[in-house]
Amino acid sequence: MVLAGGLSVQFGAAVAVLLMPRAGAFGVVTLRLVLAALVLLVVCRPRLRGHSRADWGTVVVFGAAMAAMNALFYQAVDRIPLGAAVTLEVLGPLVLSVAASRRLVNVLWAALALGGVALLGGGGFGGGLDPVGAACALGAGAMWAAYIVFSARTGRRFPQADGLALAMAVGALLTLPLGLVESGSRLVVPSTVLLALGVAVMSSVLPYTLELLALRRLPAPTFAVLMSLEPAIAAVAGFLLLDQVLSARDAVAIALVIAASMGAVRSATKAGRPAPIDG
C-alpha cells in the first residue's frame, strides 16, 4: 500500500508536469487542490460545528502548509527534473527527523544527504540545476516538514479524515487566486479539468487513503523508511513519462539522500522517538 501510494503520487506529479503547458504551474496546483478538496468533502462530510478556535487554527495552518508545499513543488518541477525536485524536497522531513532524534550519529546522515545534494547540484541531470527551481524544491521540503507536524496535530483534534478534508479546502482557497491570475479561463477547459481530476486522485485522494490503511498495519518507522524511496520512484516516473534521463552521478546522488533518510529514521527509532511521517 505504501509503495502503491508512492507510485500514485509521483506518477501523478509527472502527469501534472505534462499538464502545465495547458494551465501553468499555479493553475495545476489550484485545480489539484480544489478537485481533491471537493472529493474529500463529499466523501468525509466533515462536521463544521463543535470545534474550538485552537482546532480551527490548527487546520488553517495545516491547510496553509499544504498549499505552500504544493505550490512550491509545482514551481520546482516546472524548472528542474522530477527526480531532483523530490530528492531536494525530502530533505525537509530528513532535517525534521534529525532534529527530533538529537543524536550525534545523525550528523553523519545529514552529511551524507548534503553530499548527495552537492552531487545533484554540481552536475545532475545534464549539468547543474536551475537555482530558482532548486530553491523552490527546498522550500517545498520545509513546508513538507511543517505539513507533517500539523498533520499529526490535526489528526488528534479531528475524527477520521475530517481535518484533512477541511485543510484541503483551506489550501484550495489559498491557491485559487494564484491559479486565476496565472491561468484564468484555461482552468475551466473540460479536457484540462479532466486531466487535473486524474492528478488530484493520483496525488492526493488515492495515496492519502492507502497511507491511512497502511499505517493500521505497519509500524510508523517502517512506513517512514518506505516513504524514503519516493525520490527513486520520482526518478522512474520522470524517465518513463517525461524522458528525464538519469546519469550515473544523478543515481548516486539520489541513492545517498535515500540512504541518509533511512538512516535518520532508524536512528530516531533507536532513540525512542517516533520518526516523523508523511500524513
* 3-class SS of residue 216: coil
Q: pLDDT per position in the chain (279 positions), as tens? A: 888 988 998 899 999 999 999 999 999 999 999 999 999 899 889 988 888 999 999 999 999 999 999 999 999 999 988 888 888 888 887 777 666 666 667 677 778 877 887 777 665 554 567 889 989 999 998 998 888 788 878 888 888 788 888 999 999 999 999 999 998 889 999 999 999 999 999 988 888 778 767 766 777 666 667 777 888 888 888 888 888 887 888 788 888 888 887 777 666 656 555 444 444
Q: How many CA atoms lie within 13 A of 229 on its CB side?
A: 13
The pLDDT, as a whole number, for residue 107 is: 72
Distances in Å between the Cα of 52 and the Cα atoms of 48, 56, 59, 133, 168 are: 10, 6, 11, 39, 19
The pLDDT, as a whole number, for residue 29 is: 92
Distances in Å between the Cα of 35 and the Cα atoms of 32, 51, 101, 196, 209 are: 5, 25, 37, 8, 16
Those residues whose C-beta lies under 8 Å from the C-beta of residue 100, and which sit 6 or more positions away, are 268, 273, 275, 276
Which of 223, 252, 255, 277 has its CA nearest to residue 3?
Answer: 223
Question: For residues 230 and 5, is the Cβ–Cβ distance under 8 A?
Answer: no
The pLDDT, as a whole number, for residue 132 is: 92
Q: Which is it for the CA torsion 84, 77, 178, 132, positive or negative?
A: positive
Measured between alpha carbons, how far is 251 from 261 in angstroms, rounded to an integer?
A: 15
